[in-house]
Amino acid sequence: MKKNLLMLLMAAMLTLVLVACGTSSEDDQVDDQTTENTEEPGEGGENNLLIMATSADYPPFESIDESGEFEGFDIELARYIAEELGYELEIRDMNFDGLIGALQAERVDMVLSGMSATEERKENVDFSIEYHRSGEMFVTRADSDIEGIEDLDGIVLGVQLGTIQEEGALVLQEDYDFEISALDDAQVLIQELLTNRIDVVYLDKQVAHGFIEAQGLTGFDDPTRVSPGMAIAFPIGSDLVDEINAVLEEALENGKIAELEDEWLLDIE
């Protein structure tokens, strides 16, 4: 496991009550490495500020450590992009299902939050090129009899609100008879699983493997879906798309993204 992912996940779970993401859309957590500011987002603005939103409950992509700092693959990628373009980065934490709305209301400049560039989302926001692809996985308790997708009938399946996994669960319901429990926070979903309130959690494969190792869980891959890769989301028509795409293309070519993957992500191929 890369960069002590096990410790990162356990710390995230221990601090869940204090830092569960998006407790209020009006009281978003702000990265304390940036200066306080009242300027509206504006693709850099007069103070060259770049405001990014994320849902920091999704290690190893984004989470909050024991000292209250943002960390993870997406966080470091955002910092790299801001440094390359000469922006000051401000990070705001909010519920995942509120991220698209924050872009539409132009409260933030971009979203990095393990977000897949689906066709439905493309109707409401613009996306960068893809920077990572994981796939999906079902997480169960170690003593569970649920060992494959054919065992989903009659169970309660947990998903995070607004995610591609929630969309996938709705599609799966056409063939399997299960109940969906949709919550704001991935870490709360794992707690619900551990306390037997739900039977399975449907997650991104990287996130799933981290929770499996941290909590002694098990799971199996989703054989039914080929999801789009992760990309950065922007308000429609944003001028940032082209310049950030240029940074991403260079980072893919020069090995920077591979370096971040090696630092933060698991080798699950």
Mean pLDDT of the chain: 87
Q: Please give the average per-residue pLDDT across 151-180, as a whole number.
A: 96
Of the candidates 5, 268, 2, 237, which has an alpha carbon nearest to the alpha carbon of residue 137? 268
Of the candidates 198, 196, 201, 206, which has an alpha carbon nearest to the alpha carbon of residue 219? 201
> In angstroms, rounded to a whole number, what is the distance separating the alpha carbons of residues 100 and 121?
8
Confidence of residue 217 (pLDDT cuts 50, 70, 90): very high
Query: Residue 43 has what pLDDT?
Result: 58
Q: Please give the average per-residue pLDDT across 224-239, as a whole number.
A: 92
Q: How far apart are the first and last CA of the chain?
A: 13
Query: Residue 30 has what pLDDT?
Result: 53
Query: Residue 42 has what pLDDT?
Result: 53
Confidence of residue 14 (pLDDT cuts 50, 70, 90): very low
Taking 80 as the threshold, does the pLDDT of residue 246 lie above it? yes
Query: Residue 267 has what pLDDT?
Result: 75
Interhelix angle 73-85/240-254, rounded to 10 degrees, is 110
Confidence of residue 266 (pLDDT cuts 50, 70, 90): confident
Query: Residue 227 has what pLDDT?
Result: 79
- DSSP 8-class letter at 129: -
Q: Are 180 and 152 in contact (CB under 8 A)?
A: no
**136-221 maps to CATH 3.20.20.60:** no
Which string of DSSP letters, residue by residue, matches 51-104?
EEEE---BTTTBEE-TTS-EESHHHHHHHHHHHHHTPEEEEEE--GGGHHHHHH
Q: Are 120 and 168 in contact (CB under 8 A)?
A: no
* For the chain, domain boundaries: 2-132+229-264, 136-221
> In angstroms, rounded to a whole number, what is the distance separating the alpha carbons of residues 109 and 44?
8
Tens-place pLDDT, residues 15-62: 443 434 333 333 445 544 433 344 555 555 556 999 999 999 999 999
Taking 80 as the threshold, does the pLDDT of residue 138 lie above it? yes
Q: Which fold has domain 2-132+229-264?
A: D-Maltodextrin-Binding Protein; domain 2 (3.40.190)
pTM: 0.81
